[in-house]
Amino acid sequence: MKSHLDLTTGLSGKAEFHFNRMEEILQGRPVGQVTVDGIDAVFINDPTLIRAIQVKDSRKYVRGDLFQKGRNISRAGLLLEDEASHRHYRRLSNPFLRVAKVDEYVPTMRRIVSDAVASWHAGDLVDIQNEMCWISGAIALAALFPSPFPEPSRDLSDRLAALILETIRKPLYGKVATPAQPYGLPSGQPAQAREEVRKLLFSYVDEQLRRPDSAAGYLSALLLDTDETGERVLTVDQICDEAIMMLIAATATMASVMSWALYVLSEEPLIEEKLFEDMPKAGNEGAAHGIERSSYTFRFLMEILRLYPPVWIACRKTRSSISLGDHLLPEGVNVIFSSYLLHRNSDRYPDAHRFDPDRWLSFRPGAGDDTSYIPFGIGPKACIGEAFAWRELEVILGTVMQRWRLGTKPGSSVQAAAETTLHPHELLMIPQPR
């Protein structure tokens, strides 16, 4: 760990991640010292050591400084550092995210996606990221925060989509986040978008407080969560913050993954044809997370998540001095690892940069202590919404493909942007009827 590398040196003072440079420098190096987004850290690129951090010794680490933006959005609920509190809110949200419950959301998911893509016009340019932000946001609202009003709020869906898009396109904000940048976002449009969402959520909370019989979803669970004295655990302000955090977490990642999926289909006509033929087979019966593991649809989405993991980098901080493999890390050290690099390790994945759904016919991740595939993380702090995400991916993908074939804007070059999520820098596509 002698050399210290800055992975985010950009032009005009703007932090930019250079994946080619990361791969060139870090592949084959299990441990190194780096600077990422202003944060000095130890970079871990060894699956065994990463598993120790996330599973075996998970309680010896807290969220690292690259999570500062998330903590600024919500300092309550699932992002609490206290282990008991974190487990409490995982249990509180679990009834709304378990596999059996997710199946109940499917008709609503399909209706939302169908209505959205029906508004597209053949031959017109469609901003796919914006559309995926709106669709995934509307689905999250309907499932986790159902409206107490007779009709769901289109206004809230529109404002949430704007907030998600702004969030996706911002850097991680480690040390560069300042008190002048509330909630890890700069002033101006992103902050305004957040306050507009927050204002509308207040109206939801107020209505459910006045009409407790109308309460439903995770929002009502937060409102009904009381301590031993019967007092509400979270204030209304904290509940709104937690709702915004959950909505962003559930939608920013989904929008990025679906954008990449639709882009890959436009570039790979043979894969697109095979996927379209397989879609009717990707139903409910006997399916893991709604998708049969033997289906081409499942393998396609596995490969999308391998090459384009939305949470492409993660950060933990040591609670105290700890041994990690042959290295002794002192207290307060940031430890960083990247699913992007793990998923493109040529030792684990032959021809690692090639998009090949059929590699999953012979390779099964997660066997034993294998940690070479972690799009949802692993261990006690893994993504609690994994089942929800798989079902939503299937529904959105199938609904779009049944109606449209998408192509990229002529002459455009789609580049990866490594910011809050790993997303296309810009993705304008042209729909044609199928």
Say if CB 197 and CB 208 are below 8 A apart. Answer: no
Please report the pLDDT score of residue 334 as a whole number. 92
- What local confidence, expressed as pLDDT, does residue 35 receive? 77
Q: What is the pLDDT of residue 242?
A: 82
Q: DSSP alpha helices (H): ranges in 228-331? A: 236-267, 269-278, 296-307
Burial class (CB within 10 angstroms; exposed 0-12, middle 13-18, buried 19+) of 352: middle
β-bridge mates for residue 34, sequence order: 5, 41
For residues 95 and 146, give the distance between their C-alpha atoms in angstroms, rounded to a whole number: 15
Instruction: Please give the pLDDT value at position 255.
Output: 96
107-150 pLDDT, tens digit each: 999 999 999 999 999 999 999 999 999 999 999 988 888 876 55
> How far is the C-alpha of 23 from the C-alpha of 40, rounded, in Å?
18
Helix (H, G, I), strand (E, B) or coil at 152: coil
In whole angstroms, give the CA distance from residue 73 to residue 76: 9
Q: Which residues are registered as beta bridge partners of 316?
A: 63, 335
Backbone angles phi, psi at 76, to 5 degrees: -135, 180
Superfamily per CATH, domain 83-307+352-433: Cytochrome P450 (1.10.630.10)
Helix (H, G, I), strand (E, B) or coil at 17: coil
Q: Where are the domains of the chain?
A: 83-307+352-433
Over the Cα atoms of the chain, what is R_g? 21
For residues 141 and 217, is the Cβ–Cβ distance under 8 A? no
Does the CA dihedral 90-91-95-99 come out positive or negative?
positive
> Which residues on neighbouring strands pair with residue 422, listed in sequence order?
418
Which residues sit opposite 404 in a β-bridge?
A: 433
Beta pairing partners, 32: 43
Residue 67 confidence (pLDDT): 64
Contacts of 422 by beta carbon, 8 Å cutoff, 6+ apart: 256, 308, 309, 310, 312, 340, 416
pLDDT score at 2: 44
**pLDDT at res. 357:** 96
- Write out residues in the chain with pLDDT < 70, as ranges: 1-23, 25-28, 37, 67-82, 148-152, 171-190, 212-215, 281-290, 366-369
Answer yes or no: is 383 a known binding residue.
Answer: yes
